[in-house]
Amino acid sequence: MKENSMINRLKERWKVNSNWELFKILLVFSVTGSSSVYVKKLAFELLGISSDASLYIRFLMWILIVFPAYQVLLIFYGFIFGMFDFFLEFEKKMFSKLGFKFSKKKG
């Protein structure tokens, strides 16, 4: 029953009604994470950044390339799996915690 309580906590936290929606959300996070690893590998190879490069260089490139790519991929896969609105709000909330402000729609 422990897994069920974790599932229910995630559904409550993300305001998700069905297990199917929760499954799609977790799938999007999984596919996005896997894709971002591929993007990092490809980008670092194209830029000639190896594991021998300075930690500062690798971290800077990760921030400049991989982090934004992850955000774009998250929205993209969210759209593909029919969860665009959820992931758009997720991104807005995350970026607002990082100090970015989004204007509310006037309606």
- pLDDT (tens digit per residue) in 54-79: 999 999 999 999 999 999 999 999 99
pLDDT computed for residue 87 by the predictor: 95
The first and second tokens of residue 80, run together, are 């593909």
Spatial distance between the Cα atoms of 24 and 27, rounded to a whole number of angstroms: 5
Spatial distance between the Cα atoms of 74 and 35, rounded to a whole number of angstroms: 10
Rounded to two decimals, the pTM is 0.80
Spatial distance between the Cα atoms of 88 and 61, rounded to a whole number of angstroms: 25
**Residue 30, amino acid:** S
Domain ranges of the chain: 2-97
State the burial class of residue 58 (Cβ atoms within 10 Å of its Cβ: 0-12, 13-18, 19+): middle
